[in-house]
Amino acid sequence: MTSDATTLQDKLKRVHRLLLRAYGEPVRQALDPVAELVSTILSQSTTDMLRDRAFDALRLKFPTWEQARDAPVKQVIKAIQMAGLARQKGPRIKAALQRITAERGELSLDFLADWPVDEARAWLMSIEGVGPKTAAIVLLFSLNRPAFPVDTHIHRVSTRLGLISPKTSPEKAHSSLEGLVPPKWYYSLHLNLIAHGRQVCSARRPRCELCQLSKWCDDFARRQSDNR
């Protein structure tokens, strides 16, 4: 291991510990894999609150996923209207449910628990509308597999801290952070980085004066240097 890699690993350990001190160890909560897939599709470009409202409305209208799969797409779109982009998300949800059934003979993703992670990720990403973040969320949250989802908060905070290069795209950040972070930390670090991005390290006005991580933050060091 190079000295640079050693330094980065040391920074990561300190960041992880400080985030646990600030936000605690998250309690594991999970939907079944199909429900998680639907919920994550709904979450795209909307808030958690609207995602949850749309998910609950969809389950109220269609108590089983088979009913949602077989319903006219207009009814699915209408049920999830509050999530935004319903005309895109509705057909994607219905098509995903149809694809799972066609290939597996039932509406279940439990089989992915036994597949190698890379193969399971590739299978999920072959579904239209499922990118690396959605696939990783299903794998990590519902199947307890070693995948590290990267959303906009995690990408921003990780870049500012210097855990990933500023040139690293959100798509490539998944593999970069999976290679850096020990798998046993994936769940807690994922959720605590999101919490930190929402509460302290916001996009437009990061609250650096309140940040527990400022000592280890490359972006904060640059800001301090520029103000001298």
Where in the sequence numbering do the catalytic residues fall?
Answer: 133
15, with CB counted inside 10 A (0-12, 13-18, 19+), is buried
How far apart are alpha carbons 111 and 176 in whole angstroms?
A: 26
Radius of gyration of the chain (CA): 19
CA pair distance 190, 204, nearest whole angstrom: 21
Neighbours of 34 (CB within 10 A): 21
Q: Provide φ and ψ at 130, rounded to 5°.
A: -105, 110
Tell me how many helices (H) and strands (E) the chain has.
Answer: 13, 0
In whole angstroms, what is the distance from residue 50 CA to residue 223 CA?
35
d(CA 219, CA 159): 8
Q: Which two tokens stand for residue 57?
A: 């409305």
CA distance 99 to 58: 19
- The answer to whether the beta carbons of residues 30 and 36 sit under 8 Å apart is yes
